[in-house]
Copies of this chain bind each other. A is one copy, B any other.
């Protein structure tokens, strides 16, 4: 696997004196890596025996119960030819069959190329890639409250994600631009990712034609870099989210998009989307077995379509409030599912997607933060490779929060430091400092502190660590109010990444031809 290079640090304009120092500090803080390569180990909750039990149960589900592939005769045909037992729309695979198909050809990891090569991401292995939240019809900010999202919001979040040193990916449907027709908005979304960011992005999955449009736009954007001259296949430049209709069902929409992407050598994230208690049993082990079975079925199908096509094993699991029927987030059961699924993905040898900064709270309050942290930290410690929903998620995914977005970006920055682990170099051991200072003195002025203090600790741009008196004198703001000022400042300072005008013109030309080719529709 070739290693993408570290992106060059972005610099900010510096004023004089104190402001210059602040700008210089921000510039250093903004030094970003294209993705995280974990230097610490993973946390695991099941041993060999427990994992084998889950795997055996998944095999039983695939062999005895089977998976439905609805409204897609081609899919049934492919499974029949592969040796599965097909009964109506139900497909049953002998124990071990799906696993063998996956392990025979699915890549252990792959590069998703970004428009800016320095921002290409390695998905799999010890790497973790952070992407913004996905799919909200609403947005929320302190000024306007909650309202439907527009393409302007979409562009804003692409810009904020581009500027966020701790987000490695531009994401996909960051929010639904409901001011645009359903059957054409994907063109504006994909264009926005290409135009306003140079990070890697995700494709449309709501119709096979929209998936094909995504591929065509990517061909224009990547030009000569779309095809890999060595392998003779397209480079992977799109990652897309294929949700399973749990329990145990794939529908024609998702299968249609999956087929377009898999055949074009673009990566699919096969994700059983489960609210445990409704779409799976109320237990962690039951949910894990079902998730594994469903994901294995989808991943094997991809390898049958195009052996060697890149893919990601996905798991989205929330538990259901048994009182209200609403999904809950940041509770311990989904965290346990996450740890188990990450272990199972490692055993299978494929990249894994899960987690994020999930919450049920409608506003960026302490509930949102507790729930988000109780999802993001397990995500990182479990060793998840691709993390959707890292920034902005509110209200079970129904709303994208502007303040929540920059708060989550800050937390994601902390995860970079955590996953760096402990520096055991001589400078890290700091015995010289301890010798210099000695009992009863302080370390503030010692040579080691002076040499290291600029980079010593993660610096949050949002946390207020000042004295109570100073905080009070500055208006006694909560973090959401500080976040409000920050996203506005960032949008005001945004500078577009360079894009070849000829490429831009070609993209716009393709889009206008496609938009003219059929009438607007909201289906």
Contacts and interface: CB of A to CB of B under 8 A. Distances in A.
A344 to B, nearest CB: 12
Interface in A315-334: 319-328, 330-333
B423 A283 contact: yes
A471 B364 CA distance: 14
Interface string A41-82: 101111000100100010011001111100000000000000
Contacts of A41: 43-45
B466 A324 contact: yes
A27 interface: no
Interface in A423-468: 423-424, 427-431, 433-435, 437-444, 448-449, 452-454, 456-460, 462-468
Contact of A283 (B320, B322, B428): B428
A395 B476 CA distance: 13
A68 to B, nearest CB: 4
Interface in A293-343: 319-328, 330-333, 335-336, 340
Interface stretch (A4-12, A245-253, A496-504): A245-253
B333 A468 contact: no
A286 interface: yes
A336 to B, nearest CB: 6
A15 interface: no
Number of copies: 2
A373 interface: yes
Interface string A402-421: 00000100010011011001
Contact of A369 (B53, B370, B431): B370
A366 interface: yes
Interface in A363-419: 363-374, 377-378, 381, 395, 398-399, 407, 411, 414-415, 417-418
Contact of A277 (B325, B378, B457): B457
Nearest to A407: B366
A43 B46 contact: no
A135 interface: no
A422 B50 contact: yes
B282 A457 contact: yes
Most central of A44, A282, A435 by chain B CB within 10 Å:
A282
A330 B418 CA distance: 11
Contacts of A377: 373-374, 377-378
A467 B146 CA distance: 13
A175 interface: no
A299 to B, nearest CB: 18
A322 B282 CA distance: 47
Given A45-B422, A427-B283, A439-B247, A365 B480 contact: yes
B467 A326 contact: yes
A142 interface: no
Contact of A468 (B57, B288, B362, B452): B362
B369 A373 contact: yes
Contacts of A415: 332
Interface of A: 40-41, 43-46, 50, 53, 57, 60-61, 64-68, 90, 146, 245, 247-249, 276-286, 288-290, 319-328, 330-333, 335-336, 340, 360-374, 377-378, 381, 395, 398-399, 407, 411, 414-415, 417-418, 421-424, 427-431, 433-435, 437-444, 448-449, 452-454, 456-460, 462-468, 471-472, 476, 478-480
Given A61-B434, A363-B476, 10 more contacts: A41-B44, A282-B456, A283-B430, A283-B452, A284-B428, A285-B430, A286-B434, A289-B430, A331-B458, A332-B458
Top 6 A-B residue pairs of the complex, sorted by shortest distance between their CB atoms: A286-B430, A369-B369, A281-B430, A373-B373, A282-B456, A248-B439
22 contacts: A65-B434, A90-B439, A247-B439, A277-B453, A280-B434, A281-B433, A281-B434, A285-B423, A286-B430, A286-B433, A289-B429, A289-B434, A332-B417, A360-B464, A361-B479, A365-B480, A366-B366, A366-B478, A367-B478, A369-B370, A373-B373, A373-B377
